[in-house]
Each structure stands twice: as structure tokens, then as C-alpha cells.
Structure 1
Amino acid sequence: MRLSRTAVLTAAVALADEQGVGGLNMRTLAEDLGVVPMALYKHVSSKEDLLDGMVDVVVAEIDPPLEGQEWRATVRSRVLSARTVLQRHRWARQVLETRTTRTPAVLAYTDSFIGMFLDRGFSVDLTHHVMHALGSRMWGFTQELFDAPETPAGDAAADSASAGSAPPDAARLEAMARRFPNVLRIAMAAAHDDGVVGRGCDDQYEFEFALDLLLDGIEGLHARGWTSART
């Protein structure tokens, strides 16, 4: 196989898709490519350079802006395309969040994203604040409120003991109801069309709901010529 930077990055993305990014290193990648690790350094200078390049591969999969469409449809489509890409590459969110280098591909995506507003009549002032409001949503992800870690085994045992013979899940819910009734009420009340409730919240539904909420607000600000200038 003739190595190139593109070939190395493509193989690294495929390996991360299959095994996760945690175990990805020059040695495992070289083994996958059938070369010695030193051969990779002709194309990627370090593990960080490798990860930056992998992000560029992923960003290149995001659809370009829609042509001839109004700003809202264009932005919504682009965000949901980014989300689809990140769901295809589950490791990419973690890597994106840890990057300290803004590669040309990342900057080009950001520049294009900003252009979807500026090219459709948004002021620089409003666009600046819109980008802050969207945050990581422009990449297709956010930190979800109810994505809580699993309860440690010791805590589960303590909950079970406090509830007698009640099953651990029931015991945790009972303890939650006593200590944090409002959190539990919201977490358990949200049923969607597919019947998903509580911890099984439909992440896509919630993501699109919040995105549309933001776009509604942005649309209102743009329509009335909002400015951050203080009077």
C-alpha cells in the first residue's frame, strides 16, 4: 500500500470508528496499515497532528450550505448534517472538544457557517451573538441535561438496603423522589411520540426542539433589527 497523509488519516478514522479513539496510537495504526510505526511520521508529525487530521476528515463529510434557500432552512440543514456525521463517528465529539489547534478545515467550516448569516443580511453584531448562542450546536452536539453517569455499585447497594426488598432501580427512584422531586418529575415526565421516557429521552427530538427554539429567537431578533448597542 502506498502511504499518503490522506491514506493514513482515512485508516485512522476507520480504526477509531471500529475500536474507539482511546486505543488509537501510532503502533496500532501502523499494524492496521501493515507498516512500521516510523513510516507514519512521514505523513503525521505526532498523535496530536493525527487527531487534528482525523477531525478534518470528519468535517469534510458535513454537507455544504444549501443553495438558494433562506437562512433558517440553510442553518438547520447544516447543523443536522453535522449531527449525522458525528453520530457516524462517535469518537469525534470527544476529539473536537479537546482540540487546541484550529486547522484550516475547521476554520473553513466556521467561516462558511458564519457566512450563512452574513450573506443573508444579518449584521456582524447579531451574527457574533448568534454564534455564541449556538456554541457547539454548530457541530451537531450539546451537553444534555439528563445524560447522568451510572450510579456507582456502592450507592446502588445503599439505596437497595434503605428500601428493604425493593429492586435497586425502584430504590433509586424512591430516594430521588425524596431528595430531588423536581428533577425526577421532569426527567420522568417527558414522553415522546415513540414512547421513550426519562433516561431514554429521544436525543434527536430534544436536539431539534432546542435548535428550533434558538432559530425562532434568532429570527425574531433579525426581523426587528436587534443590536447589542446600549442606549
Structure 2
Amino acid sequence: MTPRTDADELIEQPRVPLSRRRVLRAAVELADRDGLDSLTMRRLAQEVGVEAMSLYHHVANKEAVFDGVVEVIIGEIMAAVEEVQAPSPDEDWQAALRARILAAREVFLRHRWAPQVFETRTSASPVVIGYLDHVVAILRAGGFSFDLAHRALHVLGSRALGFTQELFQPDGAQTANAAAAAMMEQMADRFPNIVGMLAEAMHDDPDGTLGFCDDQFEFEFALDLILEGLERRRAAAS
């Protein structure tokens, strides 16, 4: 009998079966590596090593892939918030919610393309509703009425999930800095307040949304203003 070799065993190892979860994880990895525009059914099929038609047994179309990607991201967020060290909501609801939101933001910072997907969904999926249910639970534990908790969700908007849409999102910091410098030079007379603000705010931050804004600081600054304002409303209603 011919002895078996390592190569024979390698050849005989079964392939990982295709599943919806495997397809969606591959979609996230593809978008992380090559950007959201790369996420086509053809590229996704190549990513998992199958013909494109095989994908349709697990995801109906590209929109179904995007819906599934939302599930994957929310799953990562829920895992992240489970690890958060924060006071219980009935002791300090602001600290509890702030920690949860910033943990969610860390997930979106790993998948910077993901907000574009969330913003294009026309209805809230059960996983998103489940996440927001936890947010409302924190508010309720902190003494919010259902009415004020409802208004709080409207005020927080996408910030409750850990991201927010900026006024401008240029492709890169260098381009943004160049554009800002050109605007400041050419439009100082026409837009003196904006130009004055930019001149005051300008600093070197290659990770900033505009190239000169520390978007993590700005996110936390706005979040704190919202939480402090909501606390004043909650206290006044007590």
C-alpha cells in the first residue's frame, strides 16, 4: 500500500461549507480591504471561492448583502459593549450610555465605510432595534419617561449607534487642507465667518474628517453636550 503523504491529507480536507454567515463575514472583510465600491456579487463570489450564482442560495441580492452587513456590524457592537467597564445606568446613566456609544464608535472606526451602508437602509432591522432597545433601557433606568426617551433618541440620531454624518467628508486630509487653504485665500471677503473659523481651527490631524478637525474630540464634545442637555430635561421633569 502506498503510504499517505501530507499532500494527500491536505487535498482530502473538506472545504468550509458556504453559509450566509461566511458570505457576510467575507463581505465585511472585502469592504475593509478594498472599500465599499468593491462589494459586488462577482467580487464577493471570488472572495469565498465560488461562482456568483452560488451566493444566491444564501443572499438574494446585493441589498440583502448590505442588510446582512448591518447585522454583522451590530453583532460586533454588541460584543464590544459587553466588554465596557461603566457604572450601572441607575447609578450614572450618562456615563453608562456614553461608554456604550463610544464602544460602538470604535467598531465603526474599524469599518469606516459602514456608516454609508447604515444610512442607505430604508427600514430598521431587528438587530438595530434591539440595540436601540438597550439604549432606551439605559435611559429608563436613569429616570427618563418614555416620552423623553423617545425625544432623546431623535436628538442622538445615528450618534446613538456610534457614528454621525459630518458636513463634509473629503477623500483625504491633504486634499482637505489644500481645499481649505484655497477657500480661505479666495473667499475671505465673501465668507468671513467661515474663513475666520477655519483659520482658528486649522491644525495638523491626518485622521480628522476635514484634515484639520479632531473628529473623535468633536464627536465626544457633541455627545457630552447632548447628554448634559438631556440630563437637565430629565431632572426638570422629575
Normalized against structure 1, the TM-score is what?
A: 0.81
**Which ranges of structure 2 fall in alignment gaps of 5 or more residues?**
1-15, 173-177
Partner AA of 2:228 in structure 1: D
1:48 equivalenced with 2:63 (yes/no): yes
**Which ranges of structure 1 fall in alignment gaps of 5 or more residues?**
151-166, 227-231
Which of the residues 106, 113, 119 maps onto 1:84? 106
Q: Distance in 2 between matches of 1:17 and 1:193?
A: 26
Alignment of 1:194-213 (within 5 A): 199-213=211-225
Q: Contact conserved, 1:187 with 1:199, CA < 8 A, in 2?
A: no
> What is aligned with 1:22?
37
The alignment covers a number of residue pairs equal to 209
1:3 equivalenced with 2:14 (yes/no): no
Q: Contact conserved, 2:24 with 2:68, CA < 8 A, in 1?
A: yes
> What is aligned with 2:12?
none
> What is aligned with 2:228?
216
1:175 equivalenced with 2:186 (yes/no): yes
Compared with structure 1, are the counterparts of its residues 225 and 85 closer, same or farther at alpha carbon in structure 2 (3 Å cutoff)? same
> What is aligned with 2:88?
68
Deviations along 1:142-173, one digit per CA (max 9) or x if unpaired, are 233454689xxxxxxxxxxxxxxxx9976542
1:186 equivalenced with 2:197 (yes/no): yes
Q: Distance in 2 between matches of 1:204 and 1:106?
A: 23
Compared with structure 1, are the counterparts of its residues 169 and 52 closer, same or farther at alpha carbon in structure 2 (3 Å cutoff)? closer
3-state SS of 2:37 partner: coil
> What is aligned with 2:5?
none
Residue 89 of structure 1: CA displacement?
0.6
Normalized against structure 2, the TM-score is what?
A: 0.79
Deviations along 1:116-163, one digit per CA (max 9) or x if unpaired, are 11133210111111111111111222233454689xxxxxxxxxxxxx
Q: Distance in 1 between matches of 2:137 and 2:179?
A: 52
Q: CA RMSD in A?
A: 2.7
